[in-house]
């Protein structure tokens, strides 16, 4: 048998729609709440609340519930996600309050301007170090070349000096030999002159 229509059919239709709509919304929201979605909402809530000492569970839940249609198990899952975020060092927990780590934003590490400046300074220092090393190596090479050239020059001069001394020694020997010959010649002449004088 067909159900009896209500006295006001349009009003009955509205009531049916109102009771039917919330279920799909809750079901859809529960399906769409993936772990990454929880992470984003938690970090967004803590960032928006801007509490200097961090936000507690109640404040985070309240913020999210005001802006999202959440499933019944939301609070339980939120607690487990908070613990997980603390474990992987995306959040830090201080006296049951949660704060975003300074190097984390929406679950991803970011480089602060100070860190960028430090990295830039390090790269510049590395460049200066390389230039200094090249310059020092060039100076060392130039010094070694100059020293080698100097030693070569000194060696050449030493050879020349040795040759000169050797030549002088040869000349001295020649002079000595000549002196001996002259001396012997003089002796012979003197002897002959002596004999000649004695005969007269």
pLDDT, block means (10 residues), the chain with 200 residues: 51 47 41 66 84 82 81 78 82 80 56 59 64 82 85 85 85 86 79 64
- Tell me the pairing of strands 97-100 and 91-94: antiparallel
CA distance 174 to 115: 87
Q: Which class for 57: exposed (0-12), middle (13-18), buried (19 or more C-beta within 10 A)?
A: middle
Write out the two tokens for 87: 């474990």
CATH number of the domain located at residue range(s) 10-109 in this protein: 1.10.10.10
Task: Provide the 3-class DSSP secondary structure of residue 54.
Answer: coil
- pLDDT value for 65: 83
Strand partners, 102: none
Question: With contact defined as beta carbons under 8 Å apart, do 79 and 57 qualify?
Answer: yes
């Amino acid at each position: 048998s067909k159900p009896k229509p209500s006295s006001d059919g349009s009003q009955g239709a509205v009531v049916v729609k109102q009771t039917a709509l919330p279920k799909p919304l809750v079901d859809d929201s529960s399906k769409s709440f993936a772990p990454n979605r929880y992470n984003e909402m938690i970090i967004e809530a803590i960032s928006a609340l801007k509490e200097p000492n961090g936000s507690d569970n109640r404040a985070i839940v309240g913020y999210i519930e005001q802006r999202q249609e959440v499933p019944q198990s939301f609070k339980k899952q939120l607690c487990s996600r908070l613990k997980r975020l603390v474990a992987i060092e995306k959040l830090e927990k201080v006296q049951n309050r949660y704060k975003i780590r300074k190097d984390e934003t929406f679950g991803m590490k970011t480089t602060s301007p100070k860190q960028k400046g430090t990295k830039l300074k390090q790269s510049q220092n590395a460049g200066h170090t390389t230039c200094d090393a090249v310059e020092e190596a060039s100076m060392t090479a130039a010094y070694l070349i100059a020293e080698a050239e100097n030693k070569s020059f000194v060696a050449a001069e030493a050879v020349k000096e040795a040759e000169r001394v050797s030549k002088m020694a040869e000349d001295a020997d020649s002079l000595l030999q000549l002196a001996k010959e002259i001396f012997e010649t003089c002796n012979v002449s003197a002897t002959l002159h002596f004999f000649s004088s004695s005969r007269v």
